[in-house]
């Protein structure tokens, strides 16, 4: 017994020595040489080297060491996948052999690519990505910065903060300069007033005027059209014009419009509530209720020199700044719950609606409620707009549905008494730019006066101590050039400041090292890394001070991380990390079919996405087990989502923890509407997307990338198939089966969730209704009757889930791909995390404390 | 002497030095030539866009998907059967379409690319034009099946070149004259120059402290600044020369889909007509094209058309794209360059995608047109399986007096393409 143990240990020791001595390689098992011998080498040998490919020699390496090796094997994989090889008239491999071969090879190639891409722990210096740039600029300037003109950050296989994937182009640098200029100019226009302006607006007069006008116009044109048609029947020689209608085509429209819209307008004007406020409708008469924050007129009295008075109109313009928008609103009696939501947004130049928030309205007419939203107003978002929760397509569809039933719009449910806006409000924050601008008087500053101001700004913006004189001298030169062409001091400073904000010291997160040797980060660098990890922005003053004092370590570091996790900026991290980690991009890949899912509009979609972020936040805040992301007895939702899930007793817009009834299918990522919607195409569910997502994100067994050139199962495409039938079809062909046998059963187990995430028991295929059979078995795993048992299986896989989470969070936090050469680190973290109750909160702390996090390689 | 025949005659072992006598001066037939490269992401409907593979030559039957091009049949060739052997991205219709690169070629990196064929031309031809090349692009290119990248073009270091997405802004870039006096313009350029100088000071002081690997990253910044400086120098040279008069009125803002593509085509013709540039690439929208045709399935789903309800959508897409191409060809034929020669005769137009259909990235659908003096038009050319698409790019360079020995993974010229 003892002896045996000894031998075993010794054996392992030898192996590990051997692998260390050898260069890195991914080894393909020699047993597969038989596959090549059986099906390939008849043509690909020394004599008959078809396509210049030779697979027969012992020299054909089964160890993938270089890009070339990988490409060779990729070539083989592609040929077999596309059914090109072996050729049709040659011996074909048995299905089971082919499945095994393809499964092995596609897996090995993923490993090989990972090995060959491995950075060996190096973190490439990187520029700020688009969102970090925006956040950082906004913190510095105190205004909202429009960074949409910057190109997308290109991430082909890792997070958007991986330096190896962040490129720069000439166009981009010009954009940086332009964005900086216009943002600084915008900031200079920003004002705070000690006594903010306030306007309350009673909208009914204007609204009724508009509705009345169209109401009578529809009627007039209709009467004209009827009279014209009558005249035609009577054989009179008259033109549409004689009846006030432009031409013949218009006759048809006049009748059509009257039939479709008139009753809705008529109804509106008859409703007594329209005399005291605005009634929202789904499309007609009022879908969008807009008001512009621009200016107001006052009559003021001016005293003349001779002592008499005169009245004068004084126009006050609302400057850019922070405003509060308020409205007094009520819900009409007997309104269905899904129609109690009011969207607030603004109309942009292209006249499209940009949603800012969705309010739930619960107050009755007898006692309306006041809703309030803070908005930073600039030149682009001044046309504020309320509408009943909808998007154009769902409003259109709902209107048509109601019209078909009742001949007019559905009865209104939301009433707005008045709206009010107040601002610009004083702000507690004093951004760096305002501090800098405050130092520049209206009188021209000499170069020795402006120098310390520019230097101070540059030093703070560059997140490091020293700025060289030669650089500031150049900036002063710029400033003086600007003055010399006649600009005022405050205008002349814009260009040098914009240059600072476009310089590489600002745009790049540099951790300078002279050689390729690793070194400890300075305290300041550590603060920066930490801050871009947890806030996606630069360190605040407090963090800078702690770092400057050299105290950012041990317990204080821990406390700072806690503080940062509590700060609202942590949502930058939660949103951007989770979005990329879970692949939420897909949620916005397609429009949902409004006819099939009229409630799944932009507002609801946004709420489903927010549910994921708020759940992660709760898991962090309450130091919960990450297993709760797989299965839990609670959800984190608001009223809008509660309504979607059919959970009662939740009122209000804020997300909160709601305990679920027993046996609920909610609780856990796989029961969240956003995840389920991502596993669809907006029209039908996609069991393949869902299954692949679970494998990729939860079970940490990512299927290899969908291979190119696989022939479609085209004989089936014309048929409406159930998920189960598709699953069966995928088993027919080896090149499909080797992945789909793992993917499809999981997807089928989730079939009781519709594309919008609601629960269903039946599915319509063509005109037939089928009962869904969600039963199945995990590949080489247990069988399940349906979703609840599937979720039990999923939730038993916390270890796999955490491994994926750890790897991806490491990659995000340290801006490089983790994987191939980091297995030991990941193993260690995984064990430790388990001992620490699988807490994500713990994991974040632990990553920050890692040596890797504190060194530059 | 036709250089190609010259090469053929004495064998290709004679490398460039012997060619010097031919270099430097452009052949008459390639003087003032232009190149346009169009790509459309998700490929085509295989069954109705590709002719029968055996039905080659000049008398091939025009397939259903190309019917709108019937009036131009003699003036374009289908070059089919090619592929990029290194591409393995089933959603990458454009990323390596003009480069043929192996994304994994650089160890330690999960993505790299190489120069695109249009930029080879731009580098040679660009100096004397207001823009050495123009890149047009669409919103959310990924959804239209183009894959990663910022446009169809990649510079000599394999870095993505930014594309212009809004035709309204393109119009103003090409024809909008700033309301600025010569002095004001000079001042502006001087100021931009000074700003870049200041920025370069920072590059200098930063660079001293970096390790070699990070220096490379900073060099990207430096290169970009140098590029802007060249642009400024170019702008300076163009001061006082007003931008050409636009051949048509300022377009409407916010056009999407079908009308957007049409307008971009108009702008291309206008840019070539006014000699503003000689090289243009364009990643056309597919997603918004479908939306503008009142189709409510995503373009990705359409590309997996099978035999069901998506098939008519896929065919409609082919139909409309061919219709638009026919419109562009009409326009090129009807427009003359500054020498009075038809633009069509002076422009090599390429239209295609790396994706054939669904996830198939072999047998790329590619059409070439124009430059009839040097290209063999009116043909269906079916290449043997696995012919590198880069052979076609190499041949197009050849047909434009831009001979190279190799481009990407090319293994030789496609002789049938050359006149």
Q: What pLDDT does A697 receive?
A: 95
User: Chain A residues with CB inside 8 Å of B307's CB?
Assistant: 714-715, 717-718
Q: What pLDDT does A717 receive?
A: 52
Contact call for A481 and B110, based on CB within 8 A: no
Instruction: Identify the weakest region by mean pLDDT among A245-259, A374-388, A444-458, A793-807.
Output: A444-458
Q: What is the CA radius of gyration of chain B?
A: 22
User: Chain A residues with CB inside 8 Å of B206's CB?
Assistant: 504-505, 508, 510, 512
Q: Which of A72, A114, A155, A171 to mutate to test the interface with B (most CBs of B within 10 A)?
A: A171
In the predicted structure, residue A826 carries a pLDDT above the cut 90: yes
For A14, residues 6+ apart whose C-beta sits below 8 A from its C-beta are none
| Nearest residue of chain B to residue A706 (CA atoms) | B90
Q: What pLDDT does B11 receive?
A: 33
A268 CA to chain B: closest CA distance, Å?
32
- Environment class of A225 (CB within 10 Å of its CB; exposed 0-12, middle 13-18, buried 19+): buried
Q: What pLDDT does B23 receive?
A: 41
Mean pLDDT of B368-381: 96
Contact call for A707 and B201, based on CB within 8 A: no
Q: What pLDDT does A445 receive?
A: 75
Q: What is the pLDDT of residues A245-269, one digit of tens each?
A: 888 889 999 999 999 999 999 999 9
Domain spans in chain B, listed from the N-terminal domain onward? 3-172+250-417, 178-241
| pLDDT tier for residue A447 given thresholds of 50, 70 and 90 | confident
Instruction: Identify the weakest region by mean pLDDT among A374-383, A498-507, B349-358.
Output: A374-383
Contact call for A707 and B209, based on CB within 8 A: no
- In angstroms, the CA A810 to CA A826 distance is 9
Q: What pLDDT does A719 receive?
A: 60
Q: What pLDDT does A726 receive?
A: 77
Distances (CA, A) of A160 to A152, A811, A847: 9, 10, 19
Q: B211 and B280 in contact (C-beta within 8 Å)?
A: no
Residue A452 near chain B (CB below 8 Å): no
Protein fold of B3-172+250-417: Alkaline Phosphatase, subunit A (3.40.720)
Q: In angstroms, how far is the first alpha carbon of chain B from the final one?
A: 14
Beta strand A656-659 pairing with A634-637: antiparallel
- When CB atoms are compared, the residue of B102, B104, B211 closest to A515 is B211
In the predicted structure, residue A400 carries a pLDDT above the cut 50: yes
- Residue predicted with more confidence, B394 or B108: B394
Find the DSSP H helices in A754-838: 787-795, 798-814, 823-835
Mean pLDDT of A834-851: 96
Buried b (16+ CB within 10 A) or exposed e, B368-399: bbbbbebbbbbbbbbbeeebbbbbbbbbbbbb
Contact call for A508 and B217, based on CB within 8 A: yes
Contact call for A706 and B201, based on CB within 8 A: no
Which residue, chain included where needed, has tokens 């999960």?
B110
In the predicted structure, residue B20 carries a pLDDT above the cut 60: no
Interface size between A and B, measured as CB pairs under 8 A: 212
Q: What pLDDT does A703 receive?
A: 86
Mean pLDDT of A354-378: 95
- Nearest CA-CA partner of A118 in A719, A763, A821: A821
Residues 135-194 of B with CB under 8 A from A: 143, 148-150, 159-162, 187, 190-192, 194
Contact call for A165 and B111, based on CB within 8 A: yes
Residue B87 near chain A (CB below 8 Å): yes
Mean pLDDT of A715-728: 68
Q: What is the pLDDT of residues A510-561, one digit of tens each?
A: 888 877 788 899 999 999 999 999 999 999 999 999 999 999 999 999 999 9
Mean pLDDT of A418-433: 88
Mean pLDDT of A4-25: 47
Contact call for B253 and A350, based on CB within 8 A: yes
Distances (CA, A) of A699 to A745, A794, A798, A822: 14, 7, 8, 19
- In angstroms, the CA A355 to CA A344 distance is 6
Residues 240-269 of B with CB under 8 A from A: 253-254
- When CB atoms are compared, the residue of A174, A504, A681 closest to B218 is A504
| Nearest residue of chain A to residue B359 (CA atoms) | A708
**Token pair in block for residue A573:** 């991290």
User: Chain A residues with CB inside 8 Å of B103's CB?
Assistant: 156
Q: How confident is the prediction for chain A on average, in pLDDT? A: 89
The 10 Å Cβ neighbour count of residue A453 is 21
**Token pair in block for residue A349:** 């130049």
User: Chain A residues with CB inside 8 Å of B359's CB?
Assistant: 706-710
- When CB atoms are compared, the residue of A156, A174, A593 closest to B228 is A174
In the predicted structure, residue A8 carries a pLDDT above the cut 70: no
- List for chain B the helix, strand, coil content (%; round to 5): 45, 10, 45
Q: What pLDDT does A155 receive?
A: 62
Q: What pLDDT does A3 receive?
A: 43
Mean pLDDT of B169-173: 91
Contact call for B307 and A591, based on CB within 8 A: no
| pLDDT tier for residue A154 given thresholds of 50, 70 and 90 | low
DSSP B342-399: BHHHHEEEEEE-S--BTTB-SS--EEEE--TTTB--S-EEEEEEEEEHHHHHHHHHHT
- In angstroms, the CA B199 to CA B191 distance is 12
- When CB atoms are compared, the residue of A177, A505, A681 closest to B298 is A681
User: Chain A residues with CB inside 8 Å of B159's CB?
Assistant: 167-169
Left, alpha or beta for A543 (phi > 0: left; psi -120 to 50: alpha)? alpha
User: Chain B residues with CB inside 8 Å of A174's CB?
Assistant: 228
| Nearest residue of chain A to residue B149 (CA atoms) | A154
Residue B384 near chain A (CB below 8 Å): no
In the predicted structure, residue A779 carries a pLDDT above the cut 60: yes
Q: What pLDDT does B415 receive?
A: 95
B241 CA to chain A: closest CA distance, Å?
23
Q: What pLDDT does A20 receive?
A: 42
The percentage of chain B sitting over the pLDDT mark of 90, rounded to a whole number, equals 58
Beta strand B76-83 pairing with B347-352: unpaired
Contact call for A718 and B296, based on CB within 8 A: no
- In angstroms, the CA A44 to CA B181 distance is 71
Instruction: Identify the weakest region by mean pLDDT among A94-103, A274-283, B71-80, B338-347.
Output: A94-103
Q: What pLDDT does A19 receive?
A: 42
Distances (CA, A) of A841 to A14, B113, B281: 40, 39, 49
Instruction: Identify the weakest region by mean pLDDT among A408-412, A633-637, B201-205, B238-242.
Output: B238-242
């Amino acid at each position: 017994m003892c002896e045996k143990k000894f031998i075993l240990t010794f054996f392992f020791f030898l192996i590990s020595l051997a692998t260390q001595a050898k260069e890195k390689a991914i080894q393909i098992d020699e047993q597969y040489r038989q596959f090549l011998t059986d099906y390939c080498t008849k043509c690909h040998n020394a004599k008959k080297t078809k396509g210049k490919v030779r697979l027969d020699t012992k020299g054909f390496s089964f160890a993938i060491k270089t890009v070339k090796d990988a490409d060779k094997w990729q070539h083989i994989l592609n040929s077999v996948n596309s059914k090109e090889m072996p050729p049709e008239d040659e011996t074909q491999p048995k299905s089971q052999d082919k499945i095994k071969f393809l499964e092995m090879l596609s897996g090995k190639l993923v490993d090989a690519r990972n090995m060959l891409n491995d950075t060996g722990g190096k973190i490439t210096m990187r520029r700020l990505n688009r969102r970090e740039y925006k956040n950082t600029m906004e913190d510095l300037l105190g205004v909202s910065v429009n960074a949409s003109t910057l190109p997308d950050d290109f991430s082909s296989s890792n997070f958007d903060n991986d330096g190896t994937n962040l490129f720069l182009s000439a166009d981009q640098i010009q954009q940086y300069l332009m964005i900086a200029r216009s943002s600084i100019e915008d900031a200079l226009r920003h004002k705070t007033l000690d006594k903010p302006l306030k306007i309350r607006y009673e909208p009914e007069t204007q609204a009724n005027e508009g509705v009345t006008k169209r109401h009578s116009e529809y009627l007039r044109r209709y009467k004209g059209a009827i009279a014209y048609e009558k005249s035609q029947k009577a054989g009179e020689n008259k033109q549409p014009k004689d009846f006030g209608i432009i031409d013949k085509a218009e006759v048809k429209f006049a009748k059509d419009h009257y039939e479709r819209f008139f009753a809705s307008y008529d109804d509106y004007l008859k409703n007594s509530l329209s005399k005291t406020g605005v009634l929202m409708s789904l499309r007609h008469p009022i879908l969008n209720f807009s008001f512009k924050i621009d200016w107001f007129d006052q009559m003021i009295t001016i005293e003349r020199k001779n002592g008499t008075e005169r009245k004068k109109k004084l126009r006050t313009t609302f400057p850019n700044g922070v405003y509060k928008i308020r409205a007094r609103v009520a819900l009409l009696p007997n309104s269905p719950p899904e129609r109690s939501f009011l969207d607030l947004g603004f109309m942009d130049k292209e006249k499209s609606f940009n949603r800012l928030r969705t309010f739930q309205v619960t107050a009755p007419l007898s006692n309306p409620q006041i809703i309030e939203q803070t908005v930073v107003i600039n030149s682009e978002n001044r046309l504020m707009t309320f509408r009943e929760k909808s998007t154009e397509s769902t409003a259109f569809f709902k209107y048509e549905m109601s019209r078909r039933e009742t001949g007019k719009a559905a009865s209104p449910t939301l009433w707005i008494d008045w709206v009010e806006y107040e601002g610009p409000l004083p702000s507690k924050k004093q951004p760096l730019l305002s501090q800098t601008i405050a130092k520049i008087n209206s009188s021209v500053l000499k170069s020795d006066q402006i120098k310390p101001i520019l230097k101070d700004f540059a030093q703070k913006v560059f997140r490091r101590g020293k700025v060289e004189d030669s650089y500031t001298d150049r900036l002063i030169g710029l400033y003086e050039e600007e003055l010399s062409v006649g600009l005022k001091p405050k205008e002349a400073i814009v260009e040098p400041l914009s240059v600072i904000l476009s310089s590489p010291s600002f745009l790049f997160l540099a951790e300078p090292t002279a050689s390729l040797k690793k070194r400890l980060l300075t305290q300041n660098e550590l603060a920066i890394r930490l801050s871009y990890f947890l806030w996606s922005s630069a360190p605040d003053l407090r963090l800078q001070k702690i770092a400057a004092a050299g105290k950012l370590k041990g317990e204080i570091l821990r406390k700072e991380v806690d503080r940062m996790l509590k700060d609202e900026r942590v949502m930058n991290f939660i949103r951007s990390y989770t979005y990329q980690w879970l692949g939420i991009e897909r949620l916005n890949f397609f429009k949902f079919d409004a006819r099939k899912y009229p409630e799944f509009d932009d507002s609801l979609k946004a709420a489903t996405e927010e549910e994921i972020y708020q759940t992660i936040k709760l898991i962090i805040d309450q130091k919960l087990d990450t297993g709760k992301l797989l299965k839990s007895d609670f959800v984190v939702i608001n009223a809008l989502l509660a309504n979607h899930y059919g959970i009662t007793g939740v009122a209000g817009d804020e997300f909160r923890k709601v305990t679920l009834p027993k046996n609920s299918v909610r609780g856990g990522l796989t029961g969240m509407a956003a995840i389920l919607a991502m596993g669809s195409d907006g029209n039908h569910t996609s069991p393949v997307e869902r299954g692949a997502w679970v494998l990729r994100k939860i079970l940490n067994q990512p299927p290899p990338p969908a291979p190119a050139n696989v022939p479609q199962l085209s004989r089936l495409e014309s048929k409406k198939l159930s998920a189960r039938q598709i699953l069966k079809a995928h088993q027919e062909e080896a090149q499909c089966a080797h992945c789909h046998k793992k993917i499809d059963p999981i997807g089928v187990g989730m079939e009781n969730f519709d594309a919008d995430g609601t629960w269903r028991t039946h599915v319509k295929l063509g005109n037939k209704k089928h009962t869904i059979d969600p039963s199945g078995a995990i590949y080489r795993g247990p069988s399940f009757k349906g979703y609840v048992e599937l979720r039990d299986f999923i939730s038993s896989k916390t270890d796999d889930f955490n491994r994926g989470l750890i790897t991806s969070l490491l990659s995000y936090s340290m801006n490089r791909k983790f994987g191939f050469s980091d297995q030991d680190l990941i193993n260690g973290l995984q064990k430790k995390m388990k001992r620490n109750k699988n807490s994500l909160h713990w994991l974040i702390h632990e990553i920050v404390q890692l040596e890797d996090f504190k060194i530059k390689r | 002497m036709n250089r190609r025949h010259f090469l053929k005659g004495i064998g290709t072992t004679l490398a460039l030095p012997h060619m010097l006598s031919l270099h430097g001066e452009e052949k008459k037939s390639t003087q003032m030539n232009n190149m346009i490269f169009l790509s459309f992401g998700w490929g085509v409907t295989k069954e109705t866009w590709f002719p029968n593979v055996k039905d080659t030559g000049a008398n091939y039957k025009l397939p259903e998907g190309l019917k709108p091009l019937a009036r131009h049949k003699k003036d374009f060739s289908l070059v089919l059967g090619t592929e990029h052997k290194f591409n393995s991205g089933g959603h990458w219709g454009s990323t390596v379409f003009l480069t043929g690169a192996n994304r994994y070629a650089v160890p330690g990196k999960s993505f790299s690319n190489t120069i695109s064929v249009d930029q080879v031309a731009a580098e040679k031809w660009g100096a004397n034009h207001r823009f050495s090349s123009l890149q047009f692009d669409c919103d959310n290119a990924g959804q239209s099946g183009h894959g990663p990248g910022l446009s169809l073009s990649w510079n000599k270091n394999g870095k993505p070149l930014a594309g212009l997405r809004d035709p309204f802004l393109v119009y103003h870039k090409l024809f909008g004259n700033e309301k600025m006096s010569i002095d004001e313009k000079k001042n502006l350029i001087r100021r931009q120059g000074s700003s870049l100088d200041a920025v370069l000071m920072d590059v200098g002081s930063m660079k001293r402290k970096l390790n070699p690997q990070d220096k490379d990253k900073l060099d990207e910044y430096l290169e970009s600044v140098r590029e802007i400086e060249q642009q400024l120098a170019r702008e300076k040279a163009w001061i006082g020369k007003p931008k050409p008069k636009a051949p048509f009125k300022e377009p409407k803002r916010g056009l999407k889909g079908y009308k957007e593509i049409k307008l971009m085509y108009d702008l291309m013709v206008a840019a070539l007509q006014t000699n503003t540039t000689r090289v243009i690439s364009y990643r056309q929208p597919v997603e918004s094209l479908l939306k503008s045709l009142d189709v409510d399935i995503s373009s990705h789903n359409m590309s997996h058309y099978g035999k069901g309800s998506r098939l008519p959508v896929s065919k409609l897409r082919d139909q409309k794209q061919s219709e638009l191409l026919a419109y562009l060809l009409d326009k090129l034929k009807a427009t003359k360059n500054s020498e009075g020669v038809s633009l069509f005769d002076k422009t090599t137009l390429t239209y295609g995608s790396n994706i054939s259909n669904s996830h198939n990235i072999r047998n790329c659908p590619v059409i070439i047109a124009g430059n009839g003096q040097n290209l063999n038009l009116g043909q269906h050319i079916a290449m043997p399986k696995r012919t590198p698409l880069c052979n076609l790019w190499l041949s197009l360079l050849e047909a434009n007096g831009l001979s190279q020995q190799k481009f990407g993974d090319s293994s030789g010229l496609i002789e049938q393409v050359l006149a």
